[in-house]
Structure 1
Amino acid sequence: MASLPIQCEMCLEENAVGSCDTCGHVGEACLRIHQKGRSFRTHIINVLNKENHAAIRNDITEERCKQHPTERAIFLCKTHESMICGSCLHSEHPSCVQEVVDLLDEDIKIDCDKVNTMKSLFNELKDDILLLKVSAEHSKENYKNNADKCVQECMELGNSIKQRVDELTSNIRDGIAMRHSKNVSAHSLITKMCDEKSKWCANEETNIDDFVDNNMAGYLYLMGRHFEKDISKARSHLKEIKSKYIFKGIDFKQNKVILNCLFEDLEEVCELHEEVTGSDDGNSDDYATSTTEINKTRKQFEQELLKAKQDIEKSEKTQTELRDELKRVKQDLYHSEQSHHPAPGNPIKGDTFTGRLEYDSEGELLCRMVKAAFRRGLMFTIDQEGKVVLDGISLYDGYVHSGFFDRSHPDYVKYVHTLKPELAAKGITEADVKQDWKMEETFTVDDR
């Protein structure tokens, strides 16, 4: 026989869904009165979780203080990142009063726009994850075919020269297999990270929906405080993984000239010569023919070598002439500068040039590249008015970020894509910078 439902001891009208240590069994309406009424703050409530009674989810402001169990923790101390009650505020956090948030304040509520923005960013992040995962899968297949092709070519080469170069071809195959293994490893790591981030996104979205459905504004508020940082961290991790684990292709090339020489040498070394004296069967003629062909090839190389030596001698004479010509040009240039300099003998007027870069790996790299250009004197020229002006280098002095969640400003992204070609045109690449260079440095030009 099924047991009769327990009746609320306060209103005697509803079935009990929980119990209070002071009031006894309480129904759903009376339970909510306990949760919201200030007179019931000291009451300890236990919610029933039976099959016929769904558990009532409480917002964080309904939780009891760990230090004072009889009081609810309705305040957030932003200094210590902890939930506290009124007693904690007066006894342990008096100096934090300016950094304390009352979560029962009417201003703290579920912001639908912010929820939509958070979920929208999650969708964008999931799209980025999916794109990276698909790209990695595609790269894996392409480079696998590339590796298989190179292995096949290597095997054909190994078969052509047989056992004399088995060690060489074995080393080449091992190198190809190692490169392919690195590509597979990169794919595995990227896939694993993408799965983890996808799972994290799904869990966080579930939490958001849960908080919204149960009107848990406090939990949503706490999540929103660190949401921007968490998203930025996830994006940085994606960017780091994408730049760190790079798929590398394999190219197998044969030097046909050296290979022909190798085959000829192998024929000469491995050829079995049978010496025949006074024979008319033609063997002697065959041997002579073979030797003639080999000598002919050697003769061609000797002629090419002689021609190369003559070209070098001619080039050395040309270099001497060019050095003399360069010396004359330098003298002419010196005299020209003395007569056409915009302000000969006078200090050059400068200007203040301001540029902004995002403080990330790409921004630091660009900063060091600009510094390399500056050190080489490639950034400035002197105009006809005797002023120092920028020469082919753009500087960005606008907003670097567009605001919410630290996404780069479109103008800044366009600038970054412009700066690298400008520096490359002046001969500055990533190879010209050193990672230990400081981001700031003072230069003195001509002691002025």
Structure 2
Amino acid sequence: MCLLFFVSQKIHIRMALASDVCGFCFKEPVFGFCENCNISLGVSCFSNHTKIHLFTSHIVFPLDNSENETCLSVPIEKDIHEQKCQQHETDPQSFYCGRHDATICGRCILADHMTCKDEIVDLHITKFDEQKANALLGSLNEIEGEIKDLQVRVDRNVKQNDECRASSIDAIKDFRKKIDLRLNQLHFEAEQSTERKHKENMNSLVELAKICKDVSLRIQMRGEKIEELSKKKQERHLFVYSKKLAIEIDEIRTAIKQSNFKNHITKFTFKEHPTLENILQKTILEIGTLQEACDGSEELVDDTHASLTGTPEHADESCARKITQPKNFTSGNQPPGKMTVESYPEIVHIKYKFLTGQQSGTPEHADESCARKITQPKNFTSGNQPPGKMTVESYPEIVHIKYKFLTGQQSGTPEHADESCARKITQPKNFTSGNQPPGKMTVESYPEIVHIKYKFLTGQQSDGKMYKALTENVHLPYSVNGINVCRMLKLAFQRKLMFTINSDGAIVYNGIKLRSTDYEMTEIDCTRLTTQLKAKGITMADIDTNDEFWGTVTVD
């Protein structure tokens, strides 16, 4: 029984010493124990603990882990109070000092434990029944079960951690492949553009070289003819030939002048895309971010306006941390909403979100977002702009503004089913309209080029025959001539003169030849288009050169 009591005391201390490092500095291994603080101490903290004024009365003692382990693991042949004292081998260790966690004899009390009399227990009169032993065993079994459960969870988290690393690395590699694929595509297109420009110059130079060769051959032949006539003394023949040759020499000189005029190339060099270079070098600081799951989330949800009975229907997508407010805090009239905080390199992003709601005693306000209302002065002038929304977003180096208008109906006018805020073009009364099917023309402006996209969906003609869908891309030079040609093309598209349907049910160009795909049309192509558009009745006089050329035109 005495040994069982001693073991129970050891177990209680062991449970207090769950950590193998100092409970104060969390660095040094455990050397001693403070009974008042109920905490383990390292060597430095143990020696300095009682020197601190606040802890001068604390009871500290060193721990000999090797002896404790031996005491708990050696075979038990007789009870502990019958064993001899380690310091006084002739006396049995009949007492237990709780202050120093040691079994001692009577001589030890007189020598070293006189101040511990309140903590000394006589092991001869100590009783420790089976119920307490079973309780200790139950505690040990419970701890063992918790350790096993913890180990299972640790193993599972190790596996999940490895899976997260593997999946993240695979995702990074896949994303890199997408970036490389797009860059390779852009690289190929840039090389193709270079080859096309080089070919254009070479075609012109080859033609001039052929002209030079032909003229040289003609000069050689005419010279040989004159020498032949001179040798034969055919003066009359030479006189007639000289007259013809004088006219031919004038023609040759004119051809040489024209060749000199054409003898030039369009010099070209590759220029990096400034936006792409700036994004890669300065704006983008990482290829992506690691999105962490529930642990560590800082999404805060205010549901103080919701009912406390039952579970609210709050569609929160992440693990939200509930904030406990003090009892007497001041609350305002802020509506229910959500605040999300995300951390990125160099910035902390905060997002506030409020859903549509209704105030007490006020009509429902169907506002999709937390919009700031702008108070207008009393006498401001109002135009006929339809209802819409303006969104402003800030990005590095640019401010993006988006205007959005939904389909609506003006007062006293039929409903206009236009999907976007499209500019209506007023046509002259007697303009010619073709059989172009319904479609859409979108014009976008980029550095050095104007991109035009024509899009037609599959449809049915008036005679019941079907026609196939078509998407065409055209690139014009970003110049005064190119922009004006773009305006005329928009007008031709509006008048349904750009395309027609052939006998095979395919949508084709209607007498206006555009170079599609990736080819960038030149100024010469723009001049040719101007002539073709004039044949369709569209000239510079029909367009407004001050009007915006970009946007979307939809033809029904």
- Higher RCO (CA 8 Å, separation ≥ 6 residues): 1
> TM-score, normalised to structure 2's length?
0.22
Q: Which has the higher strand share?
A: 2
Report which of the two structures shows the higher radius of gyration computed on alpha carbons: 2
